[in-house]
Structure 1
Amino acid sequence: MSWFGPTVELSNPPSTRKDRLDLGWVLANSDQAPAYLRDVQVLLARLLTLPVPTIAAVNGHAFGAGAILAIAHDFRIMRSDRGYLCFPEVDINVPFTPGMAALIQAKLTPAAAIAAMTTGRRFDAPTAVEFGLVDRAAEESALLATATAAVRPLAGKDRGTLGSIKSTMFAGAAETPARRGPGPPRDLTRPGRLLARCRLIASPVRLPGR
């Protein structure tokens, strides 16, 4: 993840996936799992209330935590001809944490949340648009240009005001156990560092002209 003036965009290389938590690492380091999940939830809460417009350009598969990471953005654009957005937790016997469930429910309609969280369904781009999981679909060649065009008009918004609005809108979802848990608070000012620590597959993409 990178900062681009007034906006943040998250994308991933075409050959990879914003896929999920690194479950292999979690199983091999079970003693660190609580802190690991805490970091993930802090990252999601920080992104949810970031005081700048954010957009996720999803150009591959987004499963599990990768899908939640996309949902945490203000806007989402998905490649039209390839990839699925999916919450497979119900099929892999991994319940949502309260913070992750609250985030998804804060961003989706009740019907869409039920369809996404309880079925394990894989949503292609047209279906994801229909259910409101993403705002629109675009061809791969136009994905970043479409994302840029969507957020560029929002460049002049005051960060203090926007941050306050988001914090109020998503107060329930942002006040996760990650912020209330024991131990010193994590650094909420550097989402990029948290992204790396949370072992989520994502790469920065610089917006044209930024």
Structure 2
Amino acid sequence: MADSIQYELNDGVAILTLDDGKANALGHDVVMSLGQHLDKAEQEASAVLIVGREGKFSAGYNLKEMMAGPDSARKLVKAGGELMMRIFTFPRPVVAACTGHALAAGGILLLACDLRIGADGPFKIGLNEVPLGMTPPMYLVELARHRLSKRWYTRAVTQGQIFSPSEAADVGYLDACVGGEELLSLAKAEAKRLGALPHGAFAEAKRREREALATAVLQGIDADMNSFKLDG
């Protein structure tokens, strides 16, 4: 299977472009590939920028793998959770350029990144696990609690409400919503700006902010997967 992620180091920023030619679904191979690219970025980059394809950031976990049986679904959701928590605690700044739809695990990916800039347009952003009949994993619940506006939290997580990009900026999925023609240039500039921060101070501040949450989630992930259900 060809890697659907392009890696480019540009002026100290590791740019990871997700483009499978379809919906940018996160299958096990993609999750593993993202982890490998992060390994490389951690060694040579000052910041990371995750970019989707035009109109689609990510539609979430690969449906074929999710429907292949409970073991397949749990394996993917666990691997995805470990990746999300790695991004959440990554020692370098991680910026997301949300190029379009970001649903389910695509929405979780936004929550895991440090700075999220989205393209305005007729796109859907949100955590639609509950409407799909999926038990929200604890890493979703806790990342959303950490990143989303308190007044929107229940509607976003328990009710699975979906938002436009401009609404998503108010809810907390995005930090800014801009015209599509501005997205990449602004995201690159922001990644470069954050990458210029003193690396040690940034990494330690991020660790102090997030380590307790990440440790608790990862310690409980096996038990969480034992109660995971997909009954849609």
Global fold match (TM > 0.5): yes
Relative to the length of structure 1, the TM-score reads 0.77
Superposed CA RMSD in Å reads: 2.1
Counterpart selection for 2:134 from 94, 97, 106: 94
Deviates more, 1:57-66 or 1:110-119: 110-119
* 1:168 lines up with 2:208 in the alignment: yes
Label 1:131 to 1:15 Cα distance change in 2 as closer, same or farther (>3 A): closer
Question: Residues 28-66 of structure 1, C-alpha deviation per residue, up to 9 Å, x if partnerless?
Answer: 143333332221111001000111111111111000001
**Regions of 4+ moved over 6 Å:** none
Superposed, which structure 2 residues align to 1:112-131 within 5 Å?
A: 112-131=152-171
Deviates more, 1:62-71 or 1:87-96: 87-96
Deviates more, 1:171-180 or 1:30-39: 171-180
Counterpart selection for 2:86 from 38, 46, 49: 46
Q: Check conservation: 1:51, 1:163, Cα contact below 8 A.
A: yes
Q: How far off is 1:99 after superposition?
A: 1.9
Deviates more, 1:8-17 or 1:46-55: 8-17
Question: Residues 141-196 of structure 1, C-alpha deviation per residue, up to 9 Å, x if partnerless?
Answer: 111011122232222223333222222211243125545667xxxxxxxxxxxxxx
1: CA distance, partners of 2:55 / 2:172? 25
Counterpart selection for 2:194 from 151, 154, 160: 154
1: CA distance, partners of 2:97 / 2:62? 21
Q: Check conservation: 1:115, 1:121, Cα contact below 8 A.
A: yes
Which residue of 1 is the match for residue 67 of structure 2? 27
Superposed, which structure 2 residues align to 1:71-86 within 5 Å?
A: 71-86=111-126
Relative to the length of structure 2, the TM-score reads 0.71
2: CA distance, partners of 1:107 / 1:138? 20
Counterpart selection for 2:95 from 37, 55, 79: 55
Label 1:16 to 1:110 Cα distance change in 2 as closer, same or farther (>3 A): closer
Say which SS state the counterpart of residue 116 (structure 2) adopts.
strand
Q: How far off is 1:136 after superposition?
A: 0.8
Paired-residue identity, %:
23
Q: Check conservation: 1:45, 1:173, Cα contact below 8 A.
A: no
* 1:70 lines up with 2:130 in the alignment: no
Taking CA–CA contacts closer than 8 Å with sequence separation of 6 or more, which of the two structures ends up with the larger relative contact order?
1
Which residue of 2 is the match for residue 7 of structure 1? 47
Q: Check conservation: 2:65, 2:76, Cα contact below 8 A.
A: no
Q: Check conservation: 1:83, 1:125, Cα contact below 8 A.
A: yes
Letter in 1 for 2:193: P
How many residues align? The count is 182
1: CA distance, partners of 2:133 / 2:50? 28
Q: Check conservation: 2:84, 2:112, Cα contact below 8 A.
A: yes
2: CA distance, partners of 1:149 / 1:54? 13
